[in-house]
Structure 1
Amino acid sequence: MDPINQSLRRFGDGRIQERLNKLMQEVTADSRVASFLQGHPEIGREAVESGLNDLYQYKEQWHNCDHCPGLAACPNVMQGYQPQLNEVRGRIHLSYQTCPLKRRDDERKKHESFMKSLYLPKDMLTVTFEDFESDTEKRTDAYVKALAFCTNTVPGETAMGLYIHGPFGVGKTFLVSAIANEFADQEVETMLVYTPDFLRELKSGIADGSYQEKLDNVKRARVLILDDIGAETMTPWVRDEVFGSLLQFRMMEKLPTVFTSNFSLDDLELHFASTQTRGAEKVDELKARRIMERIRHLTDEIPMSGRNRRTD
């Protein structure tokens, strides 16, 4: 009853009943409270008096909501919740439900729990297919195939992924970000990784002992998107120990992988074949072919072209 006592003190000295009556008049004059009571004529004066604290809390907290300072600064008893009045056996009962701001925040957090991004700009986390401009034949084809991939793919049952390639700035990362968000909406765990930075992180993990954990976290994603493959410096370790291990695991577990690259599949094979070790170049076409056989077997190739949207 503390809120009631605090309010009663505003009325000064006098009999408690008189002050109680004034407070009741103030509370029942509130439009929301009045509407509730009019809709429940079975609630008598005695029930109103015994439920006065609930009615007061209801009025005050809706006043907070009417002047909402934002979810983080919400002053209500339960942050992010709005009060609701109910009638139970002729008595007043106060309950709470989430407000629109909290519901949106909960949905955002839930969405983020299914979509993880490593080393990519934050603005890519909100991209959807509606944001993608399919203004050329190639971009329209890529859009249709990407959307079909999201619709038809069942991780653990269908391992087929996508290989999206084209020049700088045509929207490859934008498209795969839309793919990641679409899967997150379906509550499918998706990981979107900028490949060169991921490989640098793995290399640093060798020294601190976190290498295997970092690799496992990525290779076990239900849907994995490797953005800008081919932009990394190719070494035998990257090709055989990282990509070889990752692709083999995902093929066996039937987990789909999406790639973006500036290289066509044939150009990527040349990239895998030519490696750098201690400043010396070595060519191993056989090992490159083994890696590429897995990529070709497990992806649908999608070429993209068009204007460079980064410079426009």
Structure 2
Amino acid sequence: MESMGEVLRSMNNPALRQRSRDLEQTLLNHPLVKELQAEHPELDESRLRLHLSRLYQYVEEDRHCKNCPGLANCPNDFQGHYSKLTVETVNGVTDLYERKTPCKLKIAQDNQDNIRKRIRSFYVDERVLNGGYDEMDIMGKDPRRASAVNKIFDYIAAVRAEGLTSRGIYLQGSFGTGKTFLMCYLLHELAISGYSGVIVYMPDFIEELKLIMMDNQKLKEMVDTMKNCDLLIFDDIGAENLNPWARDHVLGAILNYRMNRKPTFYTSNYPLDGLEKHLSITSKDGEEAYKGQRLMDRIAPFVEVIPLHGENQRGRARG
């Protein structure tokens, strides 16, 4: 169909005026317009003729949507939206009104954007969070992971059915078995249900603390975010190089606030007793067993320990 603008610009030419009339008649006889008339017999043809440009856009955008090239290449005037026409009577006058309506692809994208906004990451590769998840793929990568994966599924289902408790998960396994990926999956699924989440890669987080320890505002914002989010994941805890201040005044403060309030999750290569040993040793003060125990009193009672078995997947397909 020709551009309505092109037709209007050619109105001084008799031959083109005829083409304009032909275009108008084609438009009024279009199945979509006929369907609109059938649904609203109160809308007479004279009123339709006052809205030819609106009808034209309605028909064209419907054609675009039927041959959708994808959201990024949407040719409609308002990307990801189509014209929806309604007939309304205002002050006794029946007329045609247009509203821009988001398409299914746009709604899906907006939903995904809203999910991502509920999740923050500190020093974790965003590709892990945004790459998409396939439950069959998660389960099928390595049969030895099945027990752990089923427990993650059960946790998600329980939160959806009953809400959050203060109990989290301690996911323990060797290198490359998919601990981070499974925790990101849990965050993603519960973000769909409206929960906010933060995942923190511990080795980089502790190093960053050394740089910002004098920036009280930035430090407070970071710590408050971790304290108050619905779900907090400390990823690869035990791999960091601790100092007493980071352990006692930052990590300890976060855990002290969250215990009995909100669930905290962990991934680690260490079993719980190995993590306690790690938390007892700092680069400055050496071993202080009671300080490691003090932190573990804020971790162990509030988690279900889930061993994750399987092959090292690093260097292979994600999972």
By the TM > 0.5 criterion, same fold?
Answer: yes
Distance of 1:135 and 1:17 partners within structure 2: 66
Deviation at 1:283, TM superposition (A): 1.0
Give the 5 Å matches for 1:224-303.
224-252=232-260, 254-277=261-284, 282-303=286-307
What is the count of residue pairs matched by the alignment? 306
Counterpart code for 2:223: L
Q: Which residue is equivalent to 1:205?
A: 212
Question: SS at the partner of 1:164?
Answer: strand
Question: SS at the partner of 2:165?
Answer: coil
* Greater Cα offset, 135-144 or 227-236: 135-144
What are the ranges of 5 or more consecutive residues in structure 2 without an aligned counterpart?
Answer: none
* Greater Cα offset, 214-223 or 142-151: 142-151
Q: Which residue is equivalent to 2:49?
A: 49
Distance of 1:4 and 1:136 partners within structure 2: 59
Question: SS at the partner of 1:255?
Answer: coil
Is 1:149 paired with 2:155?
yes
> Would you say the 8 A contact 1:134–1:143 is kept in 2?
no
* Greater Cα offset, 174-183 or 28-37: 28-37
TM (norm. structure 2) is: 0.84
* Identical counterparts, % of pairs: 33
Deviation at 1:95, TM superposition (A): 2.4
Check 1:48–1:300 CA distance in 2 against 1; reply closer, same or farther (3 A cut). same
Q: Which residue is equivalent to 1:139?
A: 145
Distance of 1:157 and 1:135 partners within structure 2: 29
Q: Which residue is equivalent to 1:99?
A: 103
- Cα deviation digits, residues 278-298 of structure 1 (max 9, x gap): xxx611111111111221111
Question: SS at the partner of 1:79?
Answer: coil
* Greater Cα offset, 93-102 or 19-28: 19-28
Distance of 1:31 and 1:94 partners within structure 2: 18
What RMSD, in angstroms, separates the aligned Cα atoms of the two structures? 2.8
Question: SS at the partner of 2:170?
Answer: strand
TM (norm. structure 1) is: 0.86
* Greater Cα offset, 134-143 or 204-213: 134-143
- Cα deviation digits, residues 222-265 of structure 1 (max 9, x gap): 1001110000012222221122111101015x110010000000
What are the ranges of 5 or more consecutive residues in structure 1 without an aligned counterpart?
Answer: none
Deviation at 1:70, TM superposition (A): 4.5
Check 1:213–1:39 CA distance in 2 against 1; reply closer, same or farther (3 A cut). closer
